[in-house]
Amino acid sequence: MTLDSIRLHTAPWVVPVCRSIIPNGGVALRGNKIIAVGDQQDLLRQYPRAEVFIHHSSALTPALINAHHHLELSHLGKLSTVTHKGSFTSWICQLLALRDTLGATGELAEQAALQAANDQYHSGVSALADIGNTSISRNLAATFPGTLFPFKEYLGLATFTLEKNLLRLQQEPDAALCSGHAPYSTHPRLLQALKARANALDHIFPIHTAEPEAEGQMIREGRGEMVDFVRQRGFWDDSFVPSNKSGSVTYLHDLGLLDEKTLCIHGIHVSSEEIRILAGQGCNVCLCPGSNQFLGTGKAPVQQYLENGILPALGTDSLASNPELSIWREMQILAQQHPYIDASDLFSMATIGGAQALGLDGRLGTLETGKDVDILAVPVPADLTRASQVYTHLVSTGSSIAPVRIIH
Ligand code: MCF
Ligand code: FE
């Protein structure tokens, strides 16, 4: 294969995502770029000398994006093997206890993270935004076959932790991607410093937002389960100023943290007004329905996001809060929870929604001219006759889908 040689991949269904499904379609590739997408007969005429690859009983789709993960928690998978019945903060306690027992770093954690990253890639994920407290994910980023953004998580709510964290942040090399954990765990001035740094370095700013009910109560009233938890751990110093009426999104907005490069992870307990704020600020939202289902934190208002022009991204979160890490399964859960949402919207979330959230939509997320060759040939039943059935198959099959990757 020379640099200029053209390859033409054909299949009974091509799913560009940015436009309608093409029956008997094809995708023409040169080097690492898509050069045309369309009807396969037209493409065969246009590129008569192309090398042709025929994918029987398949749909060609863009690769998937996982916009939220914690690879370094993969060795804590035991936590999600039994149904979680307790509160959100009891889960955090379990997580911290198991991590103390097994270690946050070392061979076990590294091997499990490597396995999880490989599994992601083989399931069809080509870009991953990961959040961690160790160097595990940064080390994996170098060899991950797709794109892995390893965010370093900052947290610390108490004022006595602030100066030290700000100093640490100042000393970070520019290449380090830094982000804040959540409104309930991270001092507002630290969040502002993190966001200012992310803006200066022009990278996205992922933050867990509006996840457990207890977070909302803490933000609004300055009391409740979350406050008790933080107090027990010795990090509550009464400096936190509750907002009185509104939730996490308003809180973050008032701190000046919401813009096109902010990625609000979970986004469950948000009011209609807050959804309008997110839309108005051009924020991205990442839904993690598998994790939310496991932790019992609730269901995000998916329909309202869509109605307000927000196409959320999807994330698996980690094995500590989700028994299976598959973006196919995340779509399946949403399809079951929201039967009236169009399957094409759910598939858009897993592809272009994620690509937009990670700032990768210039090269990933759709099949169109100029985008990277990062394509999946997904097996679909041979007897499908309508495009809508293809979308239904893609979003409702779950983690058993085994795509073949088409890369450069
Ligand atoms: O997204 C889930 C649930 N919400 C918050 N945090 C986490 C999630 N999965 C892992 N975490 C991590 C988080 O990054 O758990 C730790 C943090 O490091 C618990 S907070 C001390
Ligand atoms: Fe998370």
| Predicted confidence (pLDDT) per residue in 291-327, tens digit | 999 999 999 999 999 999 999 999 999 999 999 999 9
Residue 2 has pLDDT above 80, yes or no: no
- pLDDT recorded at residue 4: 77
Res. 199 pLDDT band, cuts 50 70 90: very high
Find out whether the beta carbon of 211 lies less than 6 Å from any atom of ligand 1.
yes
124 has pLDDT over 70: yes
Among 95, 294, 322, name the best residue to mutate to test ligand 1's pocket (greatest count of ligand atoms within 8 A of Cβ): 95
Angle at the Cα of 187 from the Cα atoms of 167 and 168, rounded to 5 degrees: 15
- Predicted TM-score of the model (pTM): 0.98
Q: Mean pLDDT in the chain?
A: 97
- Dihedral sign (CA 52, 55, 56, 59): negative
Q: What was the pLDDT predicted at 245?
A: 77
The CB of 316 under 6 Å from ligand 1? The reply is: no
Strands (E), 70-124: none
> Is the CB of 261 within 6 Å of ligand 1?
no
Q: Are 348 and 395 in contact (CB under 8 A)?
A: no
- Nearest atom of ligand 1 to the alpha carbon of 265: 1
Percent of residues, the chain, with pLDDT higher than 70: 99
pLDDT tens per residue across span 36-57: 999 999 999 999 999 999 999 9
Ligand nearest to the CA of residue 129, numbered in listed order: 2
Q: In testing the pocket of ligand 1, which one of 208, 209, 268 has its CB within 8 Å of the most ligand atoms?
A: 208
Tell me the pLDDT band of 255, cut-offs 50, 70 and 90.
very high
Phi-psi region of 370 (alpha: psi -120 to 50; beta: other; left: phi over 0): left
Q: Which of 68, 69, 70 to mutate to test the pocket of ligand 1 (most atoms within 8 A of CB)?
A: 70
Q: For residue 224, what are its two tokens?
A: 């409740």
pLDDT score at 346: 98
Minimum CA distance residue for ligand 1 atom 4: 208
Query: Does 10 contact ligand 1 (Cβ within 6 A)?
Result: no
Phi and psi angles of residue 208, each rounded to the nearest 5 degrees, phi first:
-60, 125
Of all atoms in ligand 1, which is nearest to the CA of residue 211?
4
274 confidence band (pLDDT: 50, 70, 90) = very high
Dist. CA 18–CA 32, nearest whole Å? 20
With a cut of 80, say whether residue 371 has pLDDT above it: yes
What confidence tens digit (pLDDT) does each residue in 330-364 have? 999 999 999 999 999 999 999 999 999 999 999 99
Kindly report the backbone phi and psi dihedral angles of residue 270, in degrees, each rounded to the nearest multiple of 5, phi listed first.
-125, 140
Residues bordering ligand 2, an ion, CB closer than 5 Å: 317
Give the Å distance between the CA of 225 and the centre of ligand 2.
Answer: 19
Residue 59 three-state SS: strand
Among the bound ligands, name the one nearest to the CA of residue 181. 1
The conformational region for residue 236 under phi > 0 = left, psi -120 to 50 = alpha, else beta, is: beta
Does the CB atom of residue 131 touch ligand 1 within 6 A? yes
| pLDDT above 80 (res 237) | yes
